[in-house]
Structure 1
């Protein structure tokens, strides 16, 4: 099946391809040298209020629910909304200044996956749209990409964005709230942009959760979708669900080696 999808995408050429990807723990590393890397929510928190976040936001309570494959999406969704709302409200309470974001990213150990330069540059070279759907914080996400020098014109981001007051201080988060299991709503809320991509019916989808599988649902007339899933955590107990859902499953792989190889083959025949 995988070989057939790749062959079909290659035959159609890069002009018919778009890439849809999650960000945290998909384009960024899950861990480095045995230590967990921060997400776009915790990139700020690592430097400003990590202690408060852990104590008040109960990260140890919600994360196991998010990755529990025995629970239905319907059961998880209200709990995810609760988690994200608490996290956003906590950040607003800290009166974070916009100028602190770049510094927080520079001082954090946030890392894109090995091979990111080739990934972003290849997509730019062939004018292949990269649509990033993230339940994290869009302001931080963009800063990470910009800090690494790969925020090219073909990159579009759909995420949770901060709203600032006249003093440049965080005062709210813009609607709609995007969490792990409603990313396809971003597609439905941006029909004009997605309408421009209808002539690109072939999709390479990258994610690290089962919720990421719906990210391409807003694309009408999709013909070939290759779904690559990063299985970063609790591998043994989650493997079966991932193998049943993704076309390719990468276990504890902190690189973009496989997506890059596929993209090189599709665009250059190598």
Structure 2
């Protein structure tokens, strides 16, 4: 952040992280307006909503794509021998549809529902002990984006609610955040949590009886939850995601005042950039850090 005079409006060039080569912004005036509203509202008006896989976690590390919560869950040895193979087959079938820039959200949704229904069928009818999740993370745990620990710490100290909205395996998301020591009391997770009958796995609990997929993640799913009470009056939002469906996660924010949407783009940059710029205010191309978010928080908190 460059030095500014009191009362002076913040410009993009005043925020060092927003001037890097990886940053793409289509409407600079709009972004500057939102940033100034966020700063004026301060910490008491702020909430943070973030996707998990490839958003809080790095998209790649040391030349390898980071594993998703589903992928890491598949490393559990208690799972049937065929689970990993069938789960990967579903990923290869449906992931290209999820990120296809030529398809509309409405066209993709039936395929996403189909994906999660089939994924649930794979996770039914056998015993499973969740203790193994922490054991697996000792061997295979994705890195959080550089600067994530600083981000979570500053949000905790400012008592700003953080909602992690994930279409992945909620039990694994929770364990990964705990592993990295960022599962602070202000962090809340809405995801597909494993459902049990005794020790027998029955699939996912989901939210309100519905599975959470990429295109139905928004705060309408938690209107009656305890978390919704915590965010009353917090109508300023920093939102982070890695697919265009994540841009809708703040749709349920009541009386939204300022929502800044940050998108992390890594796959098929040339093909997807225009679509990302249509949905996100700031697009970060192959940026594996939280520098932009931390730069903004340093002004707001």
5 Å-filtered alignment, 1:88-167, equals: 88-92=120-124, 95-167=127-199
Any idea what SS the aligned residue of 1:177 has? coil
Note if 1:67 corresponds to 2:103: no
Any idea what SS the aligned residue of 2:298 has? helix
- How many residue pairs were aligned? 266
1:258 aligns with 292
Note if 1:21 corresponds to 2:50: yes
Displacement of 1:160 in angstroms is: 0.4
Task: Give TM-score, length-normalised by structure 2.
Answer: 0.83
1:58 aligns with 90
Displacement of 1:189 in angstroms is: 4.6
Any idea what SS the aligned residue of 2:75 has? helix
Task: Give TM-score, length-normalised by structure 1.
Answer: 0.92
How far apart, in 1, do the equivalents of 2:38 and 2:297 lie? 10
- Segment drifting more, 46-55 vs 206-215: 46-55
Distance 1:112 1:217, change over 3 A: same
Residue 203 of structure 2, aligned match among 163, 166, 172: 172
- Segment drifting more, 16-25 vs 158-167: 158-167
How far apart, in 2, do the equivalents of 1:160 and 1:137 lie? 5
2:16 aligns with none
1:220 aligns with 254
Any idea what SS the aligned residue of 1:107 has? coil
2:9 aligns with none
Q: Which has the higher helix share?
A: 1
2:217 aligns with 183
2:33 aligns with 4
Are the aligned partners of 1:158 and 1:186 in contact in 2 as well (CA < 8 Å)? no
How far apart, in 1, do the equivalents of 2:277 and 2:85 lie? 32
Displacement of 1:147 in angstroms is: 0.8
Q: Which runs of 5+ in 2 are unaligned?
A: 1-29
How far apart, in 2, do the equivalents of 1:38 and 1:164 lie? 25
1:204-247 CA-partner distances (Å, limit 9, x unpaired): 00011111111111111010011000012111100011112211
- Segment drifting more, 119-128 vs 252-261: 252-261
Q: Which has the larger radius of gyration?
A: 2
1:249 aligns with 283
How far apart, in 1, do the equivalents of 2:191 and 2:266 lie? 22
- Segment drifting more, 89-98 vs 60-69: 89-98
How far apart, in 2, do the equivalents of 1:184 and 1:53 lie? 29
Measured on the aligned residues, the alpha-carbon RMSD in Å equals 1.9
Displacement of 1:254 in angstroms is: 1.0
Q: Which runs of 5+ in 1 are unaligned?
A: none
1:204 aligns with 238
How far apart, in 1, do the equivalents of 2:141 and 2:181 lie? 16
Displacement of 1:31 in angstroms is: 0.8
- Segment drifting more, 16-25 vs 102-111: 102-111
1:6-44 CA-partner distances (Å, limit 9, x unpaired): 111111211110001111110011110110111111111
Distance 1:41 1:77, change over 3 A: same
Are the aligned partners of 2:220 and 2:251 in contact in 1 as well (CA < 8 Å)? no
Give the ranges of 4+ consecutive aligned residues of structure 1 lying more than 6 Å apart after TM superposition. Answer: none
